[in-house]
Structure 1
Amino acid sequence: MADRTGGFNIAAFSFLRSGRSSQHAEVCAGSTDLCSEGLFDMLLPKKDRKTQLSLGDYAKEIAGIGHRDGGRAAWEAGWGNVAVWLAHKYFPDEIGSAHADEFHRPFVSMALLPYDASAERATGGILIKNGTWKPVVWNWRARWNILVIPNPRKRKKHEEVAIVLIPISDIMLRGGRETFGFDAGANPEILIRSVFVPKHRTVSLKALMRGDGNAQAGYWQYRLSAAALLTIHAVLPLYGVAAAARAPASGRQVLRRDTRVTLEALRNIDAATHMLSGLLQRMQVRAICNVPLVTDECRGIRRTAVLAGHLILTAVDSLASICHGKTDDDQIEMQSRWRDARTLGLCAEVAIRSFATLFEGP
């Protein structure tokens, strides 16, 4: 395979980022193969699933891997599912059958708001003159990318952007070591120069908020609007952060030297988890009853998720301070894990604010 990154060694990329581009690539030692575990297509109605995956079960799947890789596995799986869901809901003809099987697994990358981008109307579609994005989730096996671009057709509030589906052949990649603060896997920047996107591969923000698109025979996943599903994923990655933050503190002798700080930090983590559980229960009732989340509800959920994330970050900082400057291997390991959890918490906050800007306007 050609190196699309301008010299970066693709074989060295962490498999946490869904592995190398080859469908038969070997898993690197010490990494997590989320693809082979079927964690990138949980929102799709699989052929071998007699009953649809409920929102509660889906949340448990994401939360269940929260402790792995410092919470990054939950982040990658959650946002990877969003990207696949968006592609199948709004661009089913381009992506193909939503019934994933062993040989046709869907892989889609996604970026939210661009660093900078400009587009203009063209006959039969949109011409993206230029743009630069950092992916919220990047998959080296993906053939398609979902991007947010300025919509040159609309000037009203809530209609200033559009979602487009771009094939991998239409983008350029610039190698990088960080995406939303991650430094363990190498995600690229996405560059676009003079790319035409036909109308059937664009969808307006209004349609996303309204929930238009492929209904897929009543699956709750497809009844949701994009705003609602992105709101759900303001909550789910934070389960991973909470699990990653709490795990190092369990049964560690070194933390017993400062019981007050430890207990206060754990209380903050538990309080954040309780807040997140309440949000999830509310969204689950909406999904079961087929009642859409309205804009104000989505906004309130995002704000509560930000508060929960703040509690977790405060707890992580307190726990890390106990081990600060220590040279014991166990303490160094704990510091490293809390550093990962803090990074992920900051990533979640950036993502929440990004799509809050996307769905609420400037």
Structure 2
Amino acid sequence: MTTESAAPVAQKVPSREELVERANSLRAQLWEAAPEVDRERRLKTANFEAIRDAGLIQLFVPKRLGGFDAGMRTFLEVTIALGRGCASSAWVTGVLNTGNWWAASYSEQAQDEVWTTNPFATTAGVLAPTSEVEVVEGGVKLNGKWGYASGSNHCDWASVCYPSVVPGRRDLNLALVPMKDLTVEDTWFIAGMRGTGSNTLVARDVFVPEHRLRSATGLFNGDHVHTGPNVSHRVSLAGLASLSLAGAQLGQAQAALDYVIEKAPKRSITTTTYSSQSESVGFQIDVAEASAMIDAAVKSTQDAADQLDDYAAKGEHPPEVVRTGLRVGMARAMRQTFHAVDLLMTAHGSSAFAEVNPLQRIWRDAGVASRHAAFNMRVSQELAGKSLLDQNPSSVSFLV
């Protein structure tokens, strides 16, 4: 958890270049700690504090409360840079920034509670409505569990989802809850992305006042895009949700490519006359192919970020066909990214699977991350296809 500090004061908003440079400056520190992060299943406190103190989790905090109102392209480039050091660190940074974006969508009273005394406060978020809700005087009472709560080890607040209180309606709602009112079950035992702390949040008879409640359905429908002084808060929630997880994967794929290229001159190819992998045409082709796949995935995701920024700047919600198309594009980019890492594992050789080799950790992380629900290719394609054929993609998924 972060510690409380004085009320936020006005500050100069750093440029994209400065924020990305801050992220790049942490790469070596994150890379060195990544094996421990994987082993201990949580970020090192010192590394999380370095990310936080660099302002890299204030990207979407409202300007009036000390935040930066950063764009989606900035968000992406920051998480890519962090991902080149440690995918779990980049993932948590992406998720907590998104959680703060959600927190900024609540009432000003709620925003003030989050950030007035602690401008570095962080918010986790879970969209699955896995809870029961009871309407009580002045708010609601929540009981339930929310799994896969990435960043649960490092957040001060959580934005959790609950179903409609009106029988028969499919509306989703959000409640902003301080972590002191929740418990965390240590459930994140998985092959990859182990440091993300994607544990389970538990609420038992937790009261949430009305000013810390809002409609999630309204956010997905774009009810927020025409209002407010912060351009970043007009962006499509569906686009933000996918983009927030992409940078970590792209960055770690770039790190894998760098590692394989760095080691190639001093590695032979067993059972051949090649004393250096670099001399092998087959190896050269594999490296070139992996590099092209990563470059294409980065470019595709950058284009998606720019498109989201353009719509937000105009105060427009992207049309449904655009939103579903962006989701397919990002799912395809993440699939390409994993295939590139897998190809690099083969090119490097079987020692890539040694526990001391960072490639096996990147391969495990990429394998898990690329299978996140936001990047489910078949679901994404179905949503896009329904939109193109004038059917209702929301009948399949709310992430539209």
TM-score, normalising length from structure 2?
A: 0.69
Alignment match, 1:40: 57
Q: Deviations over 1:62-108 (max 9, x none)?
A: 33323111x2232211111110121122143123178778x532221
Question: Residue type matched to 2:166 in 1?
Answer: R
Judging changes above 3 Å, is the alpha-carbon distance between structure 1 residues 270 and 146 closer, same or farther for their aligned structure 2 residues? same
Partner of 1:23: none
Query: Which stretch shows the higher mean deviation, 327-336 or 292-301?
Result: 327-336
Q: Which has the higher helix share?
A: 2
Judging changes above 3 Å, is the alpha-carbon distance between structure 1 residues 350 and 244 closer, same or farther for their aligned structure 2 residues?
farther
Deviations 1:235-261 (A, max 9, x none): 444433443443323333145342333
**Equivalent residue letter for 2:160:** L
Deviation of residue 50 (structure 1)? 11
Give the alignment partner of residue 350 of structure 1, picking from 336, 361, 373.
Answer: 373
Structure-2 residue corresponding to 1:14: 42
SS in 1 for 2:60: coil
Residue aligning to 1:130? 144
| Residues 274 and 191 of structure 1, relative CA distance in 2, 3 Å threshold | same
Match of 2:329 in 1: 304
Residue pair 1:171, 1:192 contacting (<8 A) in 2 also: yes
Preserved CA contact (<8 Å) 1:134 1:179: no
Residue 166 of structure 1 aligns with which residue? 177
* Aligned counterpart, 2:319: 294
Q: Which stretch of structure 1 is more off in the superposition, 261-270 or 321-330?
A: 321-330
Matched, 1:265 2:265: no
Question: For residue 92 of structure 1, what is the aligned residue in structure 2?
Answer: 108
| 1:150 paired residue among 154, 158, 163 | 163
**C-alpha distance in 1 between matches for 2:178 and 2:356:** 46
1:332 aligns with 2:343: no
Q: Which amino acid aligns with 1:291?
A: E
CA distance in 1, matches of 2:83, 2:104: 26
Gaps of 5+ in 1: 2-11, 20-26
How many Å separate the matches in 2 of 1:129 and 1:324?
50
Change (3 A) 1:59 1:323: closer
Query: Which residue, out of 93, 97, 109, partners 2:124?
Result: 109
Instruction: Name the structure 1 match of 2:16.
Output: none
Choose from 32, 35, 57 the match for 2:74.
Answer: 57
Change (3 A) 1:215 1:201: farther
Q: What is the RMSD of the two structures over their aligned residues, measured on CA atoms?
A: 3.7
The answer to whether the 8 Å contact 2:242/2:327 transfers is yes
The structure having more radius of gyration, on CA atoms, is 2
Structure 2 unaligned segments of length 5 or more: list them: 2-39, 268-276, 384-392
TM normalised by structure 1 equals 0.76
**Number of residue-to-residue matches in the alignment:** 332
Q: Please tell me whether the aligned partners of residues 306 and 352 of structure 1 are also in contact (alpha carbons under 8 angstroms).
A: yes
CA deviation profile, 1:184-237 (whole Å, cap 9, x unmatched): 354532122333333332212332124446988522112234334324435444
Q: Aligned equivalents of 2:310 and 2:89: distance in 1? A: 26
Q: Which digits, 9 at most, give the CA deviation of each residue in 1:122-147, with x for residues without a partner? A: 454333343342203324351x2111
Number of the residue aligned with 1:230? 241
Query: Residue type of the partner of 1:153?
Result: V
In 2, Cα distance between the equivalents of 1:328 and 1:295? Answer: 42
Alignment correspondent of 2:193: 182
Give the corresponding residue for 1:68: 85
Partner of 1:204 in structure 2?
Answer: 215
Q: Which residue of 2 aligns with 1:314?
A: 339
Q: Give SS of 2:317's match.
A: coil
Q: Distance in 1 between matches of 2:360 and 2:242?
A: 30
Identity of paired residues, percent? 19
> Which residue does the alignment assign to 1:5?
none
Once residues 143 and 354 of structure 2 are traced to their aligned partners in structure 1, the CA distance between those partners, rounded to angstroms, is: 52
| CA shift digits 1:14-68 (9 cap, x unpaired) | 345xx3xxxxxxx27xx77321221111112446989853443343323332311
| Equivalent-residue separation in structure 2 for 1:197 and 1:63 (angstroms) | 35
Aligned-partner SS, 1:137: coil
1:109–1:139 Cα contact (<8 Å) kept = no
Q: Secondary structure at the match of 1:314?
A: helix
Deviation at 1:305, TM superposition (A): 0.7
